Amino acid sequence: MPQKMEQVGFVGCGEMGSMVLTAALQAGVLDPARTVVAERNPDQRTKLSGLGVQLVEFPAELGQCDQIILAVRPQQFAEAVAEIGADDHGRLVISVMAGIGSNTIQTAFGENTRVICVMPNAPVRVHAGMCALMPASQATDEDIAFGQALFGTLGKTVILPESNLWAVTALSGSGPGYLALIAETMVEHAIEMGIDPDVAPILVAETMAGTGRMLAETGMTPARLRAAVATPGGTTEAAINSMIDEGVQQSIRRGIQAAHDRGETLSGG
């Protein structure tokens, strides 16, 4: 585990921020006595009051923190930075804000700021997330190790260059939505085929979860798993051939590319 800095500050602690905070405290990655949370919502501060961290209302009170976790909405970024202020000595800033790159963050906090941008996905809610860490060039090995320890409490982490931001957003960030659409369709048709409406979602969810585990834990490629399941002349092969004829693969590719392109457009890239 990387060495703890003197003080870690959270700017905003809504759903994502509170998940990171709670999991990291439980895992011992963060020391509650050295953790400060700036959260304007009084109800949210009340929810966090049992964690043993210092709770404040304004980001200005995080100015002395060595490491800052930015978990506010992008439109709140400028105000938060203005309150915290720049730090000529340099600090680590880890951001989960979509659409704001490391150059913008470094310019706002000061040229010596070390930045890591993170793209988590929805399954962090059940500690089965995929978090892509994209460190800027100034980030040290110790910074990256801290980021991996922090977000590793919510699932798996990978290190990627920031140039991959919109590709990873379109893949793992938006990916749960694609799989949910497939699951939704499978459940609907299962019910149409006569399967109990209470049982169909279980069959589909466990099938998807088990398949994901096979891919993650065995090292089997998707192509190899598909071939292993699709016995020649059997039911799976019939289904897959029908889906290929309908252009499913091309549709998936176009959808992922649409997500990528939309992200670039929204960011002005």
Task: Return d(Cα 32, Cα 24) in angstroms, integer.
Answer: 10
Domains of the chain (ranges; CATH) run: 8-168 (3.40.50.720), 172-267 (1.10.3730.10)
Binning pLDDT at 50, 70 and 90, where does residue 74 land? confident
DSSP state of 98: T
Task: Tell me the average pLDDT across 27-37.
Answer: 95
Binning pLDDT at 50, 70 and 90, where does residue 269 land? low
Task: Tell me the average pLDDT across 137-165.
Answer: 96
**pLDDT value of position 1:** 43
Task: Tell me the average pLDDT across 151-178.
Answer: 96
**φ, ψ at 245 (rounded to 5°):** -60, -30
CA angle 65, 128, 34 (to 5 degrees): 20
pLDDT at 110 over 50: yes
Binning pLDDT at 50, 70 and 90, where does residue 64 land? confident
pLDDT at 8 over 70: yes
Binning pLDDT at 50, 70 and 90, where does residue 4 land? very low
Mean pLDDT estimate for the chain: 93
Distance of CA 104 to the CA centre of its chain: 20
pLDDT at 82 over 80: yes
